[in-house]
């Protein structure tokens, strides 16, 4: 097998920067989510796939008290920070490794100082978890170099803490967990309450097509937090009638209907998205297991409508792409993937229909929105690993 081009790229860049050989090279993937959107901060279910696009990190001990990290994709931006105390935030990409240092120190672990070079082909701002990939790559490198005894799931939680508390983005656990624990050829069902995982193999002959609207996610930060607050509001009202409810995960669609009148309309619709989405995730798992792609596709389209109408996180560009994909013979279904407000859609497509889906998406999108989407086929890949 030929060496991955990004592996060679980070290794060469490490030589240039540090005139030495890296101790290891780590790869941590981005992700798309098949279904289970905005459920992970409601203790619900998600079904993401680690993709063939990833952050690559060449790394070795620095030999002094300072970590020196270079981002090849940021015009070789160099950042230096301590690892024996909390590094101060600089607001840029280096906040991801710095956040990981912060989280390790919080857990009483002392990471060694490193030399590192980073590159990534996960598109930034496209809702494919480019930031989780960077966090997980650094956390994995530190775990290896500092000999920490840490499970991959613990590492993912630590990265989520870094993102929530150091970087200041209030995300759930899905992205870090799939980057850490993904499995080639499989989608990973994660129960975000117990963190139990089950892997479902992607049926043969099926491709996951990703189309990037090229609308960078905007508003997502503040609107994401508004959605979270609305879910919490739904829980606090429902708890008055259903004392055992701790999160929307504990509410069935029938229960929600029963207490609909107690909720503000917008709060009811947000909750309806979440409780029906949890049901869809479990059903998609069963359908994947049975190879019923028609039904998977139907649920993906229903999931998109629910995100569009009830959760209101879609935008016209994403709706265009989903509708266009669904028009093509051999496309089972499509939906926006990730937080919404821009970024990508995924379409689940019979392999031989991929060229017509790509062509149709491009044609319709240019005609309607005057710009070209990036369309490519991705596959379910492994989670974080040492590659050299
Ligand atoms: C972002 C967050 C995830 C998840 C999705 C929506 O990607 O990082 O934790 O909440 O949005 O499903």
- 247-262: per-residue pLDDT in tens? 999 999 999 999 999 9
**Residue 175 a catalytic site member:** yes
The helix (run of H) or strand (run of E) holding residue 323 is: helix 316-327
The two tokens of residue 368 are 């309607």
Cα separation, 36 vs 172, whole angstroms: 12
Give the residue, by CA position, lying nearest to ligand 1 atom 2: 171
**C-alpha distances out from residue 44 to 78, 188, 202, 273, Å:** 39, 14, 22, 12
Cα angle: 96, vertex 37, 49; to 5 degrees? 65
Average the pLDDT over 167-192 and give the result.
Answer: 97
Confidence of residue 129 (pLDDT cuts 50, 70, 90): very high
Give the residue, by CA position, lying nearest to ligand 1 atom 1: 339
Cα separation, 216 vs 125, whole angstroms: 5
The two tokens of residue 329 are 């013979």
| Assigned CATH class of 3-202+382-386 | alpha beta
Question: HSE-up of 26 (CA within 13 Å, CB side)?
Answer: 25
Indicate if ligand 1 lies below 6 Å from the C-beta of 217. Answer: no
Closest CA to 176 of 207, 138, 216: 138
Domain 207-378: what homologous superfamily? GHMP kinase, C-terminal domain (3.30.70.890)
Q: Are 335 and 300 in contact (CB under 8 A)?
A: yes
- Which residue in 175, 278, 310, 381 is the catalytic one? 175
> What is the 8-class DSSP label of residue 202?
P
List, in sequence order, every beta strand (DSSP E) within 85-205: 114-120, 186-191, 197-201
Cα separation, 250 vs 271, whole angstroms: 11
Q: Which of 213-227, 329-343, 353-367 has the lowest mean pLDDT?
A: 213-227
Name the residue ranges covered by the structural domains of the chain. 3-202+382-386, 207-378
Q: Mean pLDDT for the chain?
A: 97
Helix (H, G, I), strand (E, B) or coil at 32: strand
């Amino acid at each position: 097998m030929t060496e991955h081009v990004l592996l060679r790229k980070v290794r060469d860049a490490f030589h240039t920067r540090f005139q030495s050989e890296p101790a290891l090279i780590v790869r941590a993937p981005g992700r798309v989510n098949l279904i289970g959107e905005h459920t992970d901060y409601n203790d619900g279910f998600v079904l993401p796939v680690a993709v063939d696009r990833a952050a690559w990190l060449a790394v070795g001990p620095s030999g002094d008290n300072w970590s020196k990290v270079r981002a090849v994709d940021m015009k070789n931006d160099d950042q230096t920070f301590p690892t024996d105390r909390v590094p101060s935030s600089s607001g840029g990409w280096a906040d991801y490794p710095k956040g990981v240092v912060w989280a390790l120190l919080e857990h009483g672990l002392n990471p060694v100082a490193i030399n590192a070079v980073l590159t990534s082909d996960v598109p930034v701002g496209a809702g494919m978890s480019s930031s989780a990939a960077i966090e997980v790559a650094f956390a994995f490198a530190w775990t290896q170099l500092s000999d920490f005894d840490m499970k991959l799931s613990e590492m993912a939680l630590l990265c989520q803490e870094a993102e929530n508390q150091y970087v200041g983005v209030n995300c759930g656990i899905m992205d870090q967990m799939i980057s850490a624990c993904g499995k080639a050829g499989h989608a990973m069902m994660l129960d975000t309450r117990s963190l139990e995982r089950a892997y479902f193999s992607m049926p043969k002959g099926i491709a996951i097509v990703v189309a990037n609207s090229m609308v960078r996610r905007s508003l997502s930060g503040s609107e994401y937090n508004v959605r979270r607050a609305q879910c919490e509001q739904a829980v606090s009202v429902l708890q008055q009638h259903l004392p055992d409810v701790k999160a929307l995960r504990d509410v069935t669609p029938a229960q929600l209907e029963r207490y609909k009148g107690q909720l503000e309309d917008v709060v009811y619709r947000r909750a309806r998205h979440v409780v029906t989405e949890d049901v869809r995730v479990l059903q998609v798992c069963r359908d994947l297991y049975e190879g019923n792609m028609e039904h998977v596709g139907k649920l993906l389209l229903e999931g998109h409508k629910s995100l569009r109408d009830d959760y209101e996180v879609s935008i016209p560009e994403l709706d265009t792409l989903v509708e266009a994909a669904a028009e093509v013979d051999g496309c089972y279904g499509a939906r926006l993937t990730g937080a919404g407000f821009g970024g990508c859609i995924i379409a689940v497509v019979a392999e031989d229909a991929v060229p017509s889906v790509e062509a149709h998406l491009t044609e319709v999108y240019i005609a309607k929105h005057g710009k070209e989407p990036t369309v490519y086929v991705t596959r379910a890949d492994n989670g974080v690993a040492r590659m050299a």
